[in-house]
């Protein structure tokens, strides 16, 4: 049932192009517009929304962080993202014009379920993004957009994460479409790019051998740091989470701009630091800043592992190891940038002799608060 792979995680990583394509299937019409009638929230209701709150845990929370960038950019609706386990304890401001988006692969995560119950008690509408048909979270929500990743068996989330991102982009673009924003043209271009992104994920998977080799060479390290800016920041957090849960290593993700506010003191000779470089085209300021961050850490002896777009030559001189990913629109980059980090964590776990599909102390779905 592992389809010839040693672990479910490897199988699920390999299934990502299909999972992404399946999650888009039937949701983009021939004219390049989104069709999400299945949402069961009318366009009129969506036009009334004045705030969005995303609640989720773990990897799904990282998808939520990326959703915030996409939602605020394409819709101009203020969006908060909060750990489901913290949400109801701080008396959040919710009303009928707030749309709460609960993201969960299993649909059974107790923290997320309690957060959505709290939101509904306050009169807010809840939209679930979920991978498990008929599970508790979609059953208790007002609306649901299913991700079509297929069953995810490995404890570490991979294909579910990519499809959660796709679903979040669909919601953000759809809100933009029904409400009409100044980004109308951009939305059309992004829908087209999104419809072709599964091929880009496939291309990343074809070039992973050097990443595996690099991971094996780091098996005796104690710490790996991850840096990113903009949507690269949640990607850095996701890379660090994967490494913690699979390789049992100390791993931390930072917003690169925060380095100088403390974490740079951690940098020492030969410390592996993974940096997610944003696209050099779209937001050049962002890119320039990450280049100087890479220079700063390298000057202090860090071993820099840089994930950068094909054709981005400016980072190359400062990268001890360069991992190439296909060019994508800035907001979609996490769909390709996360994949090498999954492979990296999986290979490191294997090299350290860990149980990949069933890491110690963890359960696939966390049904206690």
Nearer to ligand M6R, 57 or 67 (CB): 57
> Taking the complex as a whole, how short is the minimal distance between the CB of residue 188 and ligand M6R, in angstroms?
31
User: Nearest-CB residue to ligand M6R?
Assistant: 58
> Taking the complex as a whole, how short is the minimal distance between the CB of residue 307 and ligand M6R, in angstroms?
19
Question: What distance in Å separates the CA atoms of residue 368 and residue 107, rounded to the nearest whole number?
Answer: 13
CA triple 241-243-245, angle to 5 deg: 70
Reply yes or no on whether 51 is catalytic: no
Strand order in the sheet with 125-130: 79-83, 51-56, 98-104, 125-130, 143-146
Question: What distance in Å separates the CA atoms of residue 178 and residue 37, rounded to the nearest whole number?
Answer: 12
Query: For residues 252 and 362, is the Cβ–Cβ distance under 8 A?
Result: no
Which spans of this chain sit near ligand M6R (rule: CB under 6 A)? 57-60, 104-106, 109, 112, 155-157, 241, 245, 365-366
Q: What are phi and psi of 257, to 5 degrees?
A: -65, -20
Residues 6+ apart with CB under 8 A from 131: 104, 105, 106, 107, 146, 147, 148, 149, 152, 160, 163, 164
> Taking the complex as a whole, how short is the minimal distance between the CB of residue 39 and ligand M6R, in angstroms?
20
> Taking the complex as a whole, how short is the minimal distance between the CB of residue 59 and ligand M6R, in angstroms?
3
Distance of CA 221 to the CA centre of its chain: 25
> Taking the complex as a whole, how short is the minimal distance between the CB of residue 105 and ligand M6R, in angstroms?
3
> Taking the complex as a whole, how short is the minimal distance between the CB of residue 337 and ligand M6R, in angstroms?
16
Nearer to ligand M6R, 99 or 103 (CB): 103
Nearer to ligand M6R, 57 or 277 (CB): 57
Residues composing the chain: 369
* Best CA proximity match to 335, nearest among 171, 189, 167, 210: 167
Nearer to ligand M6R, 215 or 277 (CB): 215
Q: What is the DSSP string of 220-256?
A: T-SEEEEEE-TTHHHHHHHHHHHHHHHH--EEEEEEG
Q: What are phi and psi of 171, to 5 degrees?
A: -65, -45
Nearer to ligand M6R, 71 or 128 (CB): 128
Nearer to ligand M6R, 75 or 112 (CB): 112
Q: Which residues are catalytic?
A: 364
């Amino acid at each position: 049932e592992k389809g010839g792979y040693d672990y479910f995680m490897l199988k699920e990583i390999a299934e990502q192009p299909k999972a992404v394509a399946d999650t888009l299937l039937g949701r983009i019409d021939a004219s390049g517009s989104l069709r999400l009638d299945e949402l069961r929230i009318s366009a009129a209701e969506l036009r009334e929304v004045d705030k969005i709150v995303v609640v989720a845990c773990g990897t799904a929370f990282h998808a939520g962080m990326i959703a915030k960038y996409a939602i605020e950019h394409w819709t101009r609706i203020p969006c908060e993202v909060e750990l489901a386990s913290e949400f109801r304890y701080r008396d959040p401001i919710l009303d009928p014009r707030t749309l709460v988006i609960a993201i969960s692969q299993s649909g059974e995560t107790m923290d997320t379920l309690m957060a959505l119950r709290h939101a509904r008690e306050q009169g807010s509408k809840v939209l679930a993004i979920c991978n498990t048909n008929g599970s508790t979270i979609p059953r208790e929500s007002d609306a649901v957009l299913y991700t079509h990743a297929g069953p995810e068996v490995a404890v570490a989330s991979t294909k579910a994460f990519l499809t959660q991102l796709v679903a979040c982009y669909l919601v953000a673009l759809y809100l933009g479409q029904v409400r009409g924003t100044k980004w109308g043209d951009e939305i059309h271009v992004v829908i087209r790019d999104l419809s072709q992104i599964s091929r880009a994920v496939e291309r990343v998977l074809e070039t992973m051998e050097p990443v595996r080799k690099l991971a094996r060479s780091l098996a005796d390290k104690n710490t790996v740091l991850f840096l990113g800016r903009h949507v690269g920041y949640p990607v850095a957090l996701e890379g660090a989470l994967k490494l913690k849960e699979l390789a049992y290593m100390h791993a931390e993700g930072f917003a690169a701009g925060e380095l100088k506010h403390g974490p740079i003191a951690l940098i020492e000779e030969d410390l592996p630091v993974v940096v997610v470089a944003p696209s050099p085209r779209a937001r050049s300021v962002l890119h320039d800043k990450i280049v100087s961050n890479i220079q700063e850490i390298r000057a202090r002896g860090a071993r820099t592992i840089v994930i950068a777009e094909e054709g981005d030559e400016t980072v190359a001189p400062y990268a001890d190891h360069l991992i190439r990913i296909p060019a994508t629109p800035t907001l979609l980059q996490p769909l390709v940038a996360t994949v090498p980090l999954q492979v990296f964590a999986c290979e490191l776990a294997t090299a350290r002799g860990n149980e990949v599909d069933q890491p110690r102390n963890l359960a696939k779905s966390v049904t206690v608060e």
